[in-house]
Amino acid sequence: MEVNINLLPDYRKEEIEKAKRLKLTWRFGLFIIIFFLIFFSFLFGIRKILEINFNSIISNQKAGSDSDKYEEIKKYDEEFSRTNQEVSQVLAIKKDQIYWSNLFVILSKASLPGVEFTDIKTKNYKVFLIGKADSRDNLTALKENLEKSSCFENLAFPLSNLVSKENVDFQMDFDVKEECLKKQ
């Protein structure tokens, strides 16, 4: 059995008791401070993780909206390409368009009042012309005018056209230059 003898005075016992309480209070305060530090660092970590997740979601949404915008731009680009292709096809057709009306304009400028065309036939750029002239002189003038024109070549004018002096039936054939029929 153990016997404890307390030889300390009462004021000293109170001081020891106060020191124990103070030590316990310091320990409890330090525990609370450490607990709050751990709790706040845990909250700060959670906040950072949520912030990172939020930023990744926002960037994914942006990438998705950028992807949608890219798809829309791609759609418009394809439509522009298709439209440009159609326009270029129309321009190619227009460039290759043959205006036979140019032939009639040139023939009307070259003909004289006494010359009448009764039949005109074309094949490729070859023209077969049949008509009637009041006189041989008018027919000869028509031939000269056609020969002077820069739009006609290889003029075939048979001598049988010049047999009659008046009311001359004639025929002739010639080639029309392509550039004369393609420009408007």
pLDDT at residue 147 in the model: 84
Residue 36 CA: distances (Å) to CA of 23, 25, 46, 130, 184: 20, 16, 15, 115, 92
CA 153/CA 177 separation, integer angstroms: 7
pLDDT at residue 64 in the model: 66
pLDDT at residue 117 in the model: 85
Nearest to 164 by CA among 129, 146, 138, 143: 138
Regions of the chain with pLDDT less than 70: 64-66, 183-184
For residue 116, list its beta bridge partners. 132
H or E, element range at 97: none
pTM over 0.85: no
pLDDT at residue 184 in the model: 58
Sign of the CA dihedral with 49 first, then 54, 57, and 59 last: negative
pLDDT at residue 160 in the model: 75
Nearest to 124 by CA among 148, 102, 95, 100: 100
Residue 110 CA: distances (Å) to CA of 128, 155, 181: 16, 14, 16
Sign of the CA dihedral with 73 first, then 74, 75, and 77 last: positive
Average pLDDT, the chain: 85
Query: What burial class does residue 107 get, using C-beta atoms within 10 Å of its C-beta: 0-12 exposed, 13-18 middle, 19+ buried?
Result: buried
Q: Ramachandran region of residue 154, left (φ > 0), alpha (ψ -120 to 50) or beta?
A: left
pLDDT at residue 28 in the model: 94
Is residue 152 a contact partner of residue 174, using CB atoms and an 8 Å limit? yes
